[in-house]
């Protein structure tokens, strides 16, 4: 199992980014419109951390891991078979891959296919 993208939705993006930069010696990029305006950094193992503000008024702060999978359609079927609610069906982000979001056991998680 590998987290490809760790999405952090925060009411104070700059504060979160600055604290991670100080604590972990990373640098965040400017906002990426393809990732909902997230500021991102890439860790040594290739995992991407993205910090963004809520995209809608009722979106609560959350930390959501996106698990790297080889076949997102199959992975969606597998988590559904375990009772997951699919919150976002697989979508393509040009030049970044496919992602989906599911809720299982009250926890939001994602899938990512390169």
pLDDT at residue 48, as a whole number: 98
The tens digit of pLDDT for each residue in 28-45 reads 999 999 999 999 999 999
Give me the residue spans of the domains in the chain.
1-61, 69-114
Per-residue pLDDT reduced to its tens digit, 47-100:
999 999 999 999 999 999 999 999 999 999 999 999 999 999 999 999 999 999
The confidence score (pLDDT) of residue 73 equals: 98
CATH number of 69-114: 3.10.180.10
| Beta-carbon contacts of residue 38 (< 8 Å; ≥ 6 apart) | 7, 31, 32, 50, 51, 52
pLDDT of residue 19: 98
Cβ 92 vs Cβ 33: under 8 Å: no
Q: How many CB atoms lie within 10 A of CB 49?
A: 21
Rg (CA), the chain: 14
Q: Can you read off the two tokens belonging to residue 21? A: 């930069």
Task: Give the integer Cα–Cα distance in Å for 28 and 105.
Answer: 31
Closest CA to 42 of 4, 2, 89, 77: 4
Residue 36 half-sphere exposure toward CB, CA atoms < 13 A: 14
Cβ neighbour number for residue 35 with a 10 Å cutoff: 19
Q: Does the domain at residues 1-61 carry the CATH identifier 3.40.50.2000? A: no
């Amino acid at each position: 199992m590998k987290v490809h993208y760790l999405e952090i939705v925060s009411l104070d993006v700059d504060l979160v980014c600055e604290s991670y930069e100080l604590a972990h010696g990373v640098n965040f990029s400017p906002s990426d419109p393809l990732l909902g305006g997230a500021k991102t950094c890439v860790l040594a193992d290739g995992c991407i951390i993205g910090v963004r503000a809520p995209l809608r008024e009722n979106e609560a702060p959350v930390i959501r891991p996106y698990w790297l999978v080889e076949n997102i359609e199959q992975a969606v079927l597998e988590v559904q078979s375990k009772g997951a609610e699919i919150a976002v069906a697989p979508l393509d982000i040009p030049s970044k891959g496919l992602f989906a979001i599911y809720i299982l056991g009250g926890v939001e998680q994602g899938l990512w296919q390169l």
